[in-house]
Every structure is written in C-alpha cells, then in structure tokens.
Structure 1
Amino acid sequence: MQTNHLTGLTDAQVAQSREKNGANILTPPKKDSLFKKFLEKFGDPLIIILLVAGALSIGISCYEYFGLGKDAGVFFEPIGIFIAILLATGLAFIFELKADKEFSLLNQVNDDEPVRVLRNSTTIEIPKKDVVVGDVVYLSTGDEIPADGTLVEAVTLTVDESTLTGEPACHKTIDPNDFDPDATYKSNYVLRGTKVMEGHGIFIVDKVGDATENGKVFEEAQIDDSVKTPLNEQLDGLGDLISKVSYAIAALIVVGRCVMYYFDPHFAETGGFFTVDFGAYLLQSIMIAVTLVVVAVPEGLPMAVTLSLAYSMRRMLKTNNLVRKMHACETMGATTVICTDKTGTLTQNQMQVAEANFYGDTPQAIIEEGIAVNSTATLDFSGSKPKALGNPTEGALLLWLNAAGKNYDEIKAAAPRLEELPFTTERKFMATIVKSAVTGKPMLYVKGAPEIVLGLCKNVAGNVSRDEIAKQLLAYQNQAMRTLGFAYQELASVDGVIENGKVNADNLTFEGIVAISDPVRADVPAAVKECLDAGINVKIVTGDTPATAREIGRQIGLITESDGKECVITGPEFAELSEGELRKRVGDFKIIARARPTDKKRLVEALQANNQVVAVTGDGTNDAPALKAAHVGLSMGDGTSVAKEASDITIVDNSFSSIGRAVMWGRSLFQNIQRFILFQMTVNVAACLIVLAGAFMGTESPLTVTQMLWVNLIMDTFAAMALASLPPSESVMRDKPRDRNAFIISRSMWTSIISVGGLFFAVLLGLLYIFEHSDITSMSQLCGLQLGARDSLTPYELSLFFTIFVFLQFWNMFNARAFMTGRSAFHFKGCRGFAMIALIILIGQVFIVELGGEFFNVTPLKFMDWVWIIASTSVVLWIGELIRLFKK
C-alpha cells in the first residue's frame, strides 16, 4: 500500500485528540498510604525488641511512681526510648520517600523516548508521551512501539510481542491474504511496548496511554536494586559477624551485671533475686544489653549503601550517566574490561559523505533515484537546518542529495516501491524494486557493504577492475571511513527477484562507492588512556572492516606500534575459535572487526569465564543479549529502546569519556562505604568494650539507654549521610580494579579499627576509673588529681563521660572522611554536606547536654569544660593529620 497521500495531523487536530483521548502516559497503580509505609518501619526486629523493652520500662516506671511514690522523673527514660525509636524510624521513612522520588523520576525517562511522526506533512521527532490518537508513526528496526494502532505500511515487519502475548516474533502485514488467523492480535495491528525486530512500517494510532493493551496490564516499573552484587554479599557477611559478636557481648553484660548484683553487700538485705528491685535491675540490664546491640549491629550499613547509591545515581546524571539499575553504580567501580562499539561512542556519530566515487557513465538520475528510494531514513526540516532521522549512514546520503539541491521525497514519491528487502547485519545489504521515474521500467537498486554488493554484480560501470576497487576501499578504510557500494539493474519482471531473503539478479551493475566519515570524538583518546591507566582493558566490537577498525583503534590510543596483527580478529575467525581457545586468546585481541550480533555476547561470556568484570556498550537491538549478559550494560542515549531496556546505565551523550566518569563514581562510592564501615566499627569496638567493662566492674552503666541511642543516631544516620555524600576523587583512576572477592575491610582498616577503638576504650576506661575514685566537678581538676575511695558516679561525671565519648567519635569521623584520600581532613572542596552534618552533630550534642536534663540523664556543663573537652578530644584529629602528613 502506498502512503504518499498521508499528511499527518495538524497542530489543532493534535490538541483536539489529546483533549479527547488523553496523553500517552500510563497511570501508575495506587500506592500504599504514607501512614502504612511509616508503620512498616516498625517491622524491624531490633525496633520490635526496643518497643517491648520500652513497654516493660513504662510498666516499671508506673510501679515506681504509683507504688513507691517516686517523682515523675522515672518516666523520662522510657519516653526517651520511644522518642529515639521514632527518630530512627522517621529518618528511615524520610530517606525511603526521597529514594522513591528519585526512582520515580528515573522511571519517567521512557516517556521521553523520541518517536518519528508525520505532522503538518512534515516528518518530525516528538517524545513518546506526546503521541496522540490519529498520529502517523514511522517504525524501524529496534524501535519500541509507542501506542496501539493499525498498520498502513509493513515491509518484512516482525514484532516481538513477548511482553504481552509471550510470542517473540510476530509477522505483521497489511495484506489480508497473509493474516495469521491464530494470532492473538490482528496481523495489521501493533501494540504499545512491543518491539520491532526486523523491517519497517507506518501505522496510525488508535489508542494511547491507559487505553492501550499494555496500559490495561500495566504494573509500575521499578528500578531493579535486587541484584546481589559482591558488595551486598560482603556487607551481609560483615553484618552477620558483627551481629554475632554483639549478641555474645550483650549476653555477657546481662550475666556480668547479675553476678555483680549477687556480690553486692546489699544483696541479702534486698531479699535476693526474687524481688521487685532485682526485677527492675534485671530489666535495666537487659535494656542496656539490647541497646548495645542496637549500637553495635550495623543497621546503618544498608542505609549508608542506599544513600551512597542514590547520591551517586543523582550526581552521575550530571556526567551524562543515567543509571537505571541501582547496583550498576557500584559494579562499574569493579570493572576490569570495557567492550565498546565504535559509532557514536568513540566517534561523533555525525555521518557525512566525504567522497562519492561513481564510475563510468552511470546516469546521475539513476544514482539519485537509487539513493532516495533505497533508504529507510528521513530528513527533519523543522529546525534551522535539515536533520537526519533513522539510520545515520543512510541519513548522510539523503543530506548529501539535499545539499546538491535534490528533494529526496519528491524523487521517492515519483518512483512507487514494488518490493523491498531490508538491511540486516547478516545480509549486510538492502534492496528495493521500484517503478523508475527515470526509465519508466522496474528497477532493482542494491546498497550495502561494497565487497558484498560487488559479489552480487556481473558488471562494473566504466569497466573499473575489481583490484582497483579493492585498493580504493582499503585507502578509505585506512582513513577510518565507512564505505557503501551501490548497484542497479533494469528488470523485465519483478517476479522472483526478491525471494526468501535473497536477491536473484543476474545482471547487476556496480555503480561505485561512497565514503562516509565519522570523526573520532575529541575527548575519546584521553578517556581511553584514563581507563587503560586505571587497569581497565578496552576492546572494540564493530561491524567495520579490520583496516577501518584498526585505524580507529590507533587514533584513540588503543592500538600502538608494538601491537601485531593478532590484536585484531574478524567475526568469522572469532566464530571458529573453540571455547577453550577463546578463553586462552580473549585477553590478547583488542578489536573484533566485521563482528556479528552473537559475537559480542560470546566475548562477554568468555571474559566472565576468566573472572573478568565486564561492562558493555551498545545501541542496537542486536546488542541486547550482550547488554543483558554483561555485569553492567551501557546503552547509548540515541540507541534503540530494546538496547536501553536491556541496559543498566544509559550514556546520555554517547561519549566514552562518560564511561570513565562512571568508573570513577563506582570506585569512589565503594571507598565511601568503606569509610563509613571504618568509622562505625571503631565506635562499635569502643562502645561494646566500655559497657561490657562497666558491667563486670560492678558500676552503673556509664552510658544510659537514651545516650546510646543518641550515639547510634549519630553513628548510623548522620555519619551515613556525611560519608555517603562525599564527592568522587579522580585519584581512584590511578588505582587498579579492586578484587571482587576481597573482604570489604582491608588490612589497613582492621589496623585502624582495632588500634583506634582500643585506644578509645583505654582512655574511656581510665576516665571511668578516675571518676569513680574522685569527685570531679570540673575538667580542670584532672590536672592535679588525687584518687580516693571508690564511689558512685555523679550526674556531672556521667555527663562529662558521655560528652567525651561522643566527641572522640566526632573527631574520628573527620579521620574516616580523609581515609584513602591522601588529603587533609580539612579539605572541604565539594564537601559542604559533610561540614553541615558535622555542625549538626556538634550543636546537637551541646543541646542535649545543656537542655536534656533527666530525659538524657545529663546535667549542664560549665563553659570551660566544653572548651577542655573539645580541645582535648581534637587530639584524635591532629594525630590523624600528622600520620597522613608523614605518609604523604
């Protein structure tokens, strides 16, 4: 069916259609209420334990208030517990809402995918969400169909309807005689969300948005963060280790306090173990132990990871990396091999005809007609200058015609198409039969890879020798130009000329060659060098000839003079390698030329079998298997919807340099998580040991339940926010890829955790002993100290101890921030978030001690005591600075 009469909708008709039928957007299903989401935060086992402990604490407080006549101060501790629980659950709730918002924004990207439509008699590109009922939409291989509609043109059109019907290859046609009576949907009907696997066509939209078949079964798309990466496994292992140790210490605390209660001189006077006093004491011991578990168990780790990933996802978009699947942020940091295509990634993807070399006396009209009718591309004239839509190589030919003052659309309309054989990567050519406006007879035009097209030809225009053609091709390819060969034949009849995917012609004449250039991007050589210096191997997989591919490799710095012929392999040679041979040689070659669709996926699997972490770039439908198989799939911003759907990250600007930025973010993200672990583990060591020692020393717990929960809030929530939001460092690109099997805590981290945590414990234990054996009312008294008999800790001493403990961790947070950076902890460029959170912790601690009163079991401190504490504990930071200076 000819479609030359189609003009598309006018602007007024578009507005009317949208008002009547709505926008082409799927309405997401109803979400859970905010209240229900908030209640889910209380499902954490540790929160449940604290809720139970808090309820029991209220019971004891009621007994003490009503039964024993104590004042209302007994209720402060249980109230403090519940407020701390609400703070923890509330913050988790807020962060989850923020993450949901980030993911929702990312999920809307698909609505902005460009679609080719005909409006006001002009072909233009619009976002998918702007498609309306009545629009005339063009389809090409690799496109995702934007709406439901009826075909008015279909050329060897095959559609993957597996998302709706489970059928991966449905033949579509407008010929009623070829309709499939058993098909789920009519053979001349296409559906939103399905994908064009082969051929091209035109359809008129019948339904959009929720009215489509896809809309009826739509479930809200979510970012896939369920992939179990090595980081997840390492964190799970670390969490299990810390949990088991903290549970053991918690049990020892309860046992230790019970033993010390037994040896207390007042044990017999109070009536032994079977009294209300002991019940209250046991409950207090259990609460201390449970709270210690809350402090020690790294429940902040998942939040730190989520925050790091969410922050990285948002910031990576500024470097043109649109992350679709959250785990890809971290996995990019472990990448050891990048398999990249050439066009658009290494080159500018701005195809232009560099040289047209047609032979002999081939009529110019024949050349022009062959280019115009044997093409699936179109030109968009809506802007200041024509823009090619569709295949960029074919678009370059149409732009070349347009620059010569020829209207390709008029030429195409004057030569009605009779049959067509579309281009495929297997055939490497396309053919079209038209009723020629030049000769008035059927004409066969063939265009494709020159060596393939020449092999189909009986004649060569101008009697140019095949050797001369081969030399010309080699010269073009050595300049990294893409070449196309052209042929034509006048036909007596069209019957059997195109049949079973083949061209049956015995008198084709080879017209000549067109060389099309696509210059290397200016930033690519530096970006490739950056990856190579970072220990990441780069391999090019391209359909170009070996000579063209090698020249591109040389221009970007991948191929050097020392590289022999073995670094380049062709698709057929690659296919002949056995699995064993491939695994042995896969590290040697840098380029696969004349690659076929299956080669890239096989390459990925061979590299993975050698324990490589593989990232793959791709922009075509045929790249989807490799994108899915890779650890990280990187689709191009102007790639097909099929490729984007299969990928983890979309490179918005198509540039290889953006891939290097993604690696830098991934490595920096992993280091941020390590810094958080370093910080929190140091806190855990100090807190667990001091509370355990206090239990066996027979003293009151030096840190109360509410105080430890505040410490937990600082260490888990605020520290996670501060350390997760640190900006990336370019220095990570000078390191080699990390070992994915290595434990997340490195030797240097273990050294720091044990030494610093142990030092904190020793200092705090010493202070505890001093406070018990002297009456301290000011920090200045520590200078001329005289120890006496043991006595209980005063509220002022407990406030001093609590504040010193917090500030030791506060200053150590700066050391953790500077860990592995090689810089001073005072380097705050790009770290305003860290400085702000540090200020919040500082002000929060002062506020709690000065105004917390019985609520936090503290009393206000003197001004000079604050000065003493802040100055003396800052020694932690100064020692860290000296160590970093010495190492530097």
Structure 2
Amino acid sequence: MEEKLWHTLPANEALKQLNSSVSGLSTDEAHIRQSAYGRNVLPAKHRLTLFEIILHQFLSPLIYVLLMAAVVSVVLEEYSDAGFILLVLVINAVIGTFQEWKAESKASALQEMIRLKTKVKRDGKVSLLDSEALVPGDIVMLESGDKVPADIRIVKENNLTAEEAILTGESMAVSKDAEAVVQGRAPVSEQMNMLFAGTTITTGRGTGLIVSTGSSTEIGKIASSLEQLSTGKAPLVKRMEIFTKRISLFILSACLILGVVAYYGGFPVREIFFFIVAMAVSAIPEGLPIAMTVALSIGASRMAKRSVIIRKLTAVEGLGSCTFIATDKTGTLTVDQQTARAILTEQGKNFRITGEGYNGDGVVMDNLNREVTCHKDEVLTRIARAIVICNEGWLEHENGNWNYGGDPIDVAMLALSFKLKTSPEKILKEVEKVMEVPFESERKYSLVYYKDQGKLRVAIKGAIEKLREGIDKKKYDQVMQEAMRYAEEGFRIIAVGGGEVDEIKPMDELPRFELLGFVALIDPLRPEARPAVEECHQAGVEVAMITGDHPATALAIAKEVGIAYGSDSLISGEEFQQVVDSGGELFSKVLENKRIYSRVSPHQKQIIVQALRESGQFIAVTGDGVNDAPALKTANIGVAMGYGTDVAKDTASIIISDNNFASIAAGIEEGRYTYSNLRKIIYLLVSTGAAEILMIGMSLAFQLPLPFLPVQLLWLNLVTNGIQDVALAFEAGEKIVMRQPPRKPTETIFNQLMIRQTLVSALVISLLTFGLWYHLLTHLNWDEPKARNIILLLMVLLQNFHALNCRSETTSIFKLPFRNNKVLIFGIIAAQTIHIIAMDVPFMQELLALAPVSWADWLKLFLTASIILATMEIFKVISFKVNKKQVNKKWYL
C-alpha cells in the first residue's frame, strides 16, 4: 500500500480512501484484500534449526586448524591421532549444541504465544476474528485491556487512552481523540487520533479503521529494518580469532624450526616428519574448544540463576567486556508502576509514602518519620475516601498476591488507600454513587456525586490547573507553588478534593468543592537499581539512560539512581537532533558529557549507540520495546527484557528474565568471571605446550635423543590438559574483578601479564624436565626408554602442579580455598591415578612404552615438580610489587 499520513486525514476521509464504511467490509471483500496485503503478521525472525546450531559449533578458526591436523594425520595413516582430534571436536559440538539449544528454548518460552482475537465488523455484524485475518479497511472495536492488532485511525472513542511504551518509551498512557487532525510527519507520540499495533488500550472504548497491517505497521517497519543492520561481533570472538591466528603461526614456525634442527642433527626424515606432526597436534590446544565451551556453558548456567538468559554462548563474556551500558528507564531502572510518593494537604502538611508498585505494601509517614494512618488525621481520612470513591480501577489482595486493573493512576490511588489503612470495599459500601463524570483528556479530571448519610457530596481528582475554577483562589495559590516544585522534579501531580454540594451540575461544569490536597506520583526506582549502578561505576563501566520519557522525569530518576546529578548531563531528543545536524566536535562532546537522553526517537537511539561503538566503547544496550530493536542490534551486546516484545527478544543476544538492571550488573560480574576462567585455561594450555616445545628444542640443541615418543606426547596432552583445562572452567570467581576497570577494547587475550607468566612457567617446566633428561642420559647412563618413562611422569606431575598455579593469575594459591574448585582437585588426582595405572597395566605399558616406578622415585619427582608451584608464587609477589602503582593494591590477596 502506498504510504499515507493517516493522522492528517479526518476520519470520514480515511474511510473514503480505503473504500470502507462504519459498517465494515464484506467477507468477500476482506478475502480479496487479504490476497493483496497478506496476513496481519510481523516478519518473523528465522528460528535456528538443530542442524544449524550443530553447524555453528564448527565455525571457528581453531576448529579449522584442528580439522587440518586431523586430515594430515589420516594422510600419514596416524589414525589414532586423527581419531583423538575428531573425538575432541564431537564432544565440543555436543556440549555447545546442547547449551545453545537449551538457551534458544528458554528464550522461546519467554515469548507470548497467545493468538489475539479482535472484535470486527464484517457484513454489518460484529464478530470475533483472529487478528491475523484483519485487513486494511476493517472496522474494529477495542476496549480497556485489549491489545491493538494493527495501525488504526480512530473513528469514535470514549475516554480512550493507550499505553504506547513499546514504540515511544513513554511510561504514561496517552489520551486519544477521534476528532483530532494532526498535521505533517508527526512522531508516533503526537498522533493523538491513531492507535498502533502492539500497544495496549488502558481505559475507555473506541472504534477504529484499520489502515495498516503486518509489515506496513509502525512496529512492522522497525522489525523489517532490522534485517538491514549488521550485528557487532562479541568481544570474545574477536579476541579468540586473534589468539588462534597467532598461536597457530607460532606452533607451525616452532615445529618447522625444530624439524630443520633435527634434520641437520642426523635424524631420519620420516621420523622427523611423524614427530613434527605429533608435536604440532600436541602443542595445538585442541582441548581449548571443549574447555572454552564448558566455561561458557558454566557461565551461562550461573547467569541463568541470576536471571540472565544467554541466547548465544559467545555472549556470555560480552557483558563482562562492556565499557558502557545504555539503559532504558521504564521497567528496568523503575518498577513500571505508578506509585504515590507524597501527599501535601491544603493546610501545608507534607507526608512521605514508602513502597513501590500496585500493592498495599508500605506506610505513610509525617515529617518526623512517624507512621500515620487516616484514623489519626481527618484530612487524610477525607483524601482516602475521595480517591476510593472517585476511582474506576480495582486492586485486591488474594491468596498472597495483589491483582489489579484499570487506569494506572486509579490503581496507584487505591494502593495509597491501603497504605492509609482503609478498606476501599468498606468505603464503597457506605456510600451511594449518584452520577459519575469519567476522566477525559479535554477535562483532565474525573468526579463522582454520591450520597453519604443522606447528604449529597462530591469527590474529585485531576490536574490542578484544570480544577482551579472550583477552588478558592487563595487556597489554590497557596498549594500551587509547592505542587510545581514536585512537578519540576518529574512527579505527576493529582489534586484531590471533595465536600458537600447542593446540586448536581451539568456534565462539563465544575461544582464548588474544597481542595483537600494533592498526591505526587512517579514510576519509582527499583530498590536494587542504585546499588547496581554504583557497582557498575566501581567496575569502570559508564551508565547512561536513554528514554522516551519527559526530561524532568528522566532527570529525577537519573539523580536518584546515581547516573547523573545535574541538568547539564541531560539532553532532549529535539536538542540532540540539532547537534546531529550540526555534527563536528559538538557531537563528540555530547557523547562524552551527556548521560541522560530524553524524548529520543528509535532512530536517535540507534545513532547514539552507533556513535559510541565507533568511539571505541564496547556498548551494551537494554530495551524491551520494538522501538529499542534497532539499537539492540547495533550494540555490541543487545540486552532485552523478559517482559518485552518478541521483536526485542529476537534481536538481543541476552535476555534479562526479571527485567531488573541489577541483573545486568550481575551479568557483568559473571561475564568477567567467565573471561577470567578462559584466560586460566589458555594460560595452562599454552604454557604447557610451550614447555614441551622448549624441552624438545633443548634436547635437539644438545644433540640428545628426542625425550618423548609421538604417542607419549598425545598421551601427555590427554592425561593432563584433557582433564585440568576443563576443570579450570569450574573455578569460582574472584571478587576483585568488579574492582578493576574493564579490559581495553583493543586488548588481546595475551596481554603483558599473560606473556610474562607463560614464558616464566614454560621455561621453568622445560628446564626441570630437560635437566633431569640430560642428567639421566649423560651422568647416570640410563637407556632411553627408562629415562623417557621418568621424564614423562615428571612432566605429568609438573603440569598437575601448574594447574594449581592457573587457578589465579594474581592471587596466591594458598589464599584460594580448595572448595572453590573441587572439580580441579578431583581432576588432578584422577590424572595422576590414571597415569600410574597406565604404568602398571601391560596393554598401556606396551602402547605408551611405560614401566612402573618405585614410590621413593615418585616422591622425589613429586618434590621436584613442586618447584613450579613455588616459582610462580614468587612471580606473583614480584609482579604485584612491580605493578602496584598501576593496579588495585588488593591485587595480591
């Protein structure tokens, strides 16, 4: 359909444009139009099949290297080597597939699968149809609580309001007007004569003309545009790609150099070739894919327990890498429920109210912090009765749960009445309602005439400026100044009045009444939000708020949560657009200094996120609405809220099931723990692989026989790294990670600390093994098989001790309780036991050229191997002292 600005047309003109009428379409015409326009469904994201998830496990540079090694092994008829590598790849694929399939299933379970039914006029009759069958030109009827099935030009309405946060980010319901005609390309938030697909009717009733369905709706346009956006790579993926290239190049170069040295040392070419292949297979960290997948799976499971659902394993570490969080306000930092925070009576008394949300949990307190109930204050009693009588909502406590319905302000007022220790049900039984004037956007107030003890009374609530004609001017002026102070801080101000009247006035005429006071309401901050923001700041992660709400409301929440403390940190969408249009240095300064963005459009939010990414930030963006989806996809890490729209959840790589910003802080912590464990795994694999290469290089340099047979190298890789690297993934996190700044986006896995500790540990292990190898062959004149048996056992012991070093790069092993990783302790004992058994089993003796050793010899080797533990403890102390000016002073714990 040609795009039309339906909000610029009167309702009757819109009907003409679509060849429709208030009686609706005929069934035949509706079928013809559905053939032309298609079904009323959004473009659905392709759901990964099981085969696609399995295939995804093999799309990694490290996997490619291992596959090449397996092919070479097959060509050389080394089928055991090839089988071992393929077994590693299969186990990795099984673990990764299981985790990602489970995550995908959890994400799907969060989605609402209800098929909407809508009242539609067809053939002049009202019927209930599946919303997918709706077409442009249909006439639909909606009422409070209904989900809007398509974009609709309102034809007729009565007290109609809609909650449009998923498109605008605005937490308050929007009043609608069928008679309004809005000029120009007005934003969605200003189209008062339109309803939009995916939004919800809050109050009233309405009849409307469907003007757009499916992909042509506002929500559909956003969903379709996501296909054109590219998703940023997870930080871990970038770092692993660099690591894989470098480690592969290093191992290949080392093997070639050792091959050349061996050739000139007189070794047979065939023997050199087989040995180089075995050494390459051994040195390549083929256990890394499994260990990495296990570490990410453990991280995902730990995150799930903290309400963070990971849809893609590589995103586990993503939150831990982020340097900047752009969060929305409604429902993430706030509870997304209007709550009364203060009462100001006309006598000037000020009362503070505790508790959040649509429930009676909380109290009313005076300026001396004493709890006050309506039984102790006459004016509070009158206010409580007025807000209960003049109310169209409902709130009840049943079976331990609070259930509610109706306009958010009405429900919030009922919650206040419970905190005042009244019974709304009892109050309503004591009075007889005579006439009700419902709230409408033009009036901005509602009132009820009622009889109480035979007298005619009125209860009224609404906007102060609209009620001034019914209030004594002197009293109005007295309270207005205080009310405006609250309004400037982002509160919504509702005046409450009542009193005895002589007669019922016409519908649009205000009676004289007594102003009782006003109630200040706001969507309050989640109790956990401020500590979570403080934790992010402590961890060096900047936090900004991007919201569609009013600037005053955004600033008030930002101050309370600790994101910013002054209006100089705030910029509105209109001001931001002027900056975007001007470009240059001013735009960079806005990104650097502003932390509150209010009244921003979806496109502006995407511009902010894209600019922050380009400035070098690793940015995580939260969102729940369709309007958030482009920004979620543009971000390095998209974080959707569990209650949010399907479009947002499909776009994001992480879902916060409890919709709480505190869970994002928990995700950062778990992400850093996971990355720390991945570094420990890589440290173990690379340092032990480097030690083996150095040991062999030293033997060749001193013209000694090769210290290991090819099959022994593979066995060494299996019995040590094959167990301990996976076990390191279970290491409990060190709390210090949340007191350190985030890693620089340009930092690789092999930073200065990793390089130093890898070189030192590899050198110590290789010197110890080569020293004993040299001593056994030249001084004690042992034969090669017997010496290899001893050297292999020493290497197993050294790598087992070194696994303990790898539990922390900075903290003393004697400060880490064994209970923090029982799996590793069991793995070390198991590895040593397996090797000792292999030394005593005839079949394994023959296969690996092993022989038993005495307990005395084992103890000597055990003590020798412990040197690596002592050496790395000294290394940690020295490293701390050298770097104490650059790192946290509690680094060495």
> TM-score range, shorter-chain basis?
0.5 to 0.7
Give the counterpart of 1:747 among 744, 752, 774: 752
Query: 2:339 corresponds to which residue?
Result: 352
Query: 2:106 corresponds to which residue?
Result: 106
Shift of 1:814: 1.4
Residue deviations 1:687-709, cap 9 Å, x none? 22333444566654322222222
Query: 1:95 corresponds to which residue?
Result: 95
Residue deviations 1:503-534, cap 9 Å, x none? xx999999996422555444443333222222
Query: 1:623 corresponds to which residue?
Result: 628
The alpha-carbon distance between structure 1 residues 477 and 321, as it changes in their structure 2 partners (threshold 3 A), is farther
Residue deviations 1:214-272, cap 9 Å, x none? xxxxxxxxxx9995233322222221122122223333444444444xx57xxxxxxxx
Query: 2:175 corresponds to which residue?
Result: none
Query: 1:424 corresponds to which residue?
Result: none
Query: 1:566 corresponds to which residue?
Result: 568
1:428-827 paired onto structure 2 within 5 Å:
471-477=481-487, 481-483=491-493, 514-542=519-547, 549-559=554-564, 564-578=566-580, 579=583, 580-593=585-598, 600-694=605-699, 699-714=704-719, 717-775=722-780, 793-821=783-811, 824=814, 826-827=816-817
The alpha-carbon distance between structure 1 residues 604 and 408, as it changes in their structure 2 partners (threshold 3 A), is farther
Three-state SS of the structure 2 residue aligned to 1:728 is coil
Quick one: which amino acid aligns to residue 294 of structure 1?
V
Residue deviations 1:429-454, cap 9 Å, x none? 7999999999xxxxxxx999x6xx95
Q: Is 1:290 the counterpart of 2:277 in the alignment? A: yes
Hey, what's the Cα distance between the residues in 2 that align with 1:392 and 1:553?
22
Query: 1:499 corresponds to which residue?
Result: none
Quick one: which amino acid aligns to residue 873 of structure 2?
E
Residue deviations 1:557-579, cap 9 Å, x none? 445xxx55413444444444344
The answer to whether the Cα contact below 8 Å between 2:811 and 2:876 also exists between their aligned partners in 1 is no
Quick one: which amino acid aligns to residue 142 of structure 2?
A
The alpha-carbon distance between structure 1 residues 351 and 759, as it changes in their structure 2 partners (threshold 3 A), is same
Three-state SS of the structure 1 residue aligned to 2:198 is strand
Shift of 1:873: 0.4
Hey, what's the Cα distance between the residues in 2 that align with 1:399 and 1:436?
19
Hey, what's the Cα distance between the residues in 2 that align with 1:389 and 1:303?
51
Q: Is 1:873 the counterpart of 2:892 in the alignment? A: no
Residue deviations 1:790-820, cap 9 Å, x none? xxx4322111111212222221221121213
Q: Is 1:387 the counterpart of 2:376 in the alignment? A: no
The alpha-carbon distance between structure 1 residues 665 and 776, as it changes in their structure 2 partners (threshold 3 A), is farther
The answer to whether the Cα contact below 8 Å between 2:74 and 2:82 also exists between their aligned partners in 1 is no
Q: Is 1:329 the counterpart of 2:321 in the alignment? A: no
Hey, what's the Cα distance between the residues in 1 that align with 2:445 and 2:46?
45
Hey, what's the Cα distance between the residues in 2 that align with 1:390 and 1:802?
75
- Answer with 382-391 or 875-884: which moved more: 382-391
Quick one: which amino acid aligns to residue 403 of structure 2?
K
Structure 2 segments unaligned to the other structure (5+ residues): 1-44, 121-128, 157-177, 179-195, 206-213, 216-228, 347-381, 451-459, 498-503, 881-891
Quick one: which amino acid aligns to residue 520 of structure 2?
A
Query: 2:856 corresponds to which residue?
Result: 864
Residue deviations 1:262-318, cap 9 Å, x none? x57xxxxxxxxxxxxxxxx54443222112222223344444433322211110122
Hey, what's the Cα distance between the residues in 2 that align with 1:465 and 1:596?
41
Quick one: which amino acid aligns to residue 302 of structure 2?
R
Residue deviations 1:663-690, cap 9 Å, x none? 2122222222222222222122222233
Shift of 1:594: 5.5
Hey, what's the Cα distance between the residues in 1 that align with 2:244 and 2:84?
22
| Superposition RMSD in Å | 5.5
Hey, what's the Cα distance between the residues in 1 that align with 2:67 and 2:603?
53
Hey, what's the Cα distance between the residues in 2 that align with 1:103 and 1:657?
21
Hey, what's the Cα distance between the residues in 2 that align with 1:364 and 1:853?
88
The alpha-carbon distance between structure 1 residues 437 and 746, as it changes in their structure 2 partners (threshold 3 A), is same
- Report the TM-score, using the length of structure 1 for normalisation: 0.65
The answer to whether the Cα contact below 8 Å between 2:389 and 2:428 also exists between their aligned partners in 1 is no
1:35-50 paired onto structure 2 within 5 Å:
none
Three-state SS of the structure 2 residue aligned to 1:824 is helix
Hey, what's the Cα distance between the residues in 1 that align with 2:796 and 2:756?
22
The answer to whether the Cα contact below 8 Å between 2:329 and 2:546 also exists between their aligned partners in 1 is yes
Hey, what's the Cα distance between the residues in 2 that align with 1:283 and 1:146?
74
The alpha-carbon distance between structure 1 residues 491 and 811, as it changes in their structure 2 partners (threshold 3 A), is farther
Hey, what's the Cα distance between the residues in 2 that align with 1:82 and 1:537?
48
Three-state SS of the structure 1 residue aligned to 2:745 is coil
Hey, what's the Cα distance between the residues in 1 that align with 2:117 and 2:571?
49
Three-state SS of the structure 1 residue aligned to 2:545 is strand
The answer to whether the Cα contact below 8 Å between 2:387 and 2:417 also exists between their aligned partners in 1 is no
The alpha-carbon distance between structure 1 residues 885 and 581, as it changes in their structure 2 partners (threshold 3 A), is closer
- Residue correspondences, number: 707
Hey, what's the Cα distance between the residues in 1 that align with 2:566 and 2:859?
69
Query: 1:837 corresponds to which residue?
Result: 827
The answer to whether the Cα contact below 8 Å between 2:118 and 2:131 also exists between their aligned partners in 1 is no
Hey, what's the Cα distance between the residues in 1 that align with 2:55 and 2:608?
48
Give the counterpart of 2:299 among 312, 336, 355: 312
The answer to whether the Cα contact below 8 Å between 1:484 and 1:514 also exists between their aligned partners in 2 is yes
The answer to whether the Cα contact below 8 Å between 1:706 and 1:856 also exists between their aligned partners in 2 is yes
Give the counterpart of 2:412 among 384, 393, 396: 396
Hey, what's the Cα distance between the residues in 1 that align with 2:721 and 2:505?
78
Hey, what's the Cα distance between the residues in 1 that align with 2:810 and 2:759?
17
The alpha-carbon distance between structure 1 residues 486 and 153, as it changes in their structure 2 partners (threshold 3 A), is farther
Hey, what's the Cα distance between the residues in 1 that align with 2:485 and 2:648?
33
- Report the TM-score, using the length of structure 2 for normalisation: 0.65
Three-state SS of the structure 2 residue aligned to 1:577 is helix
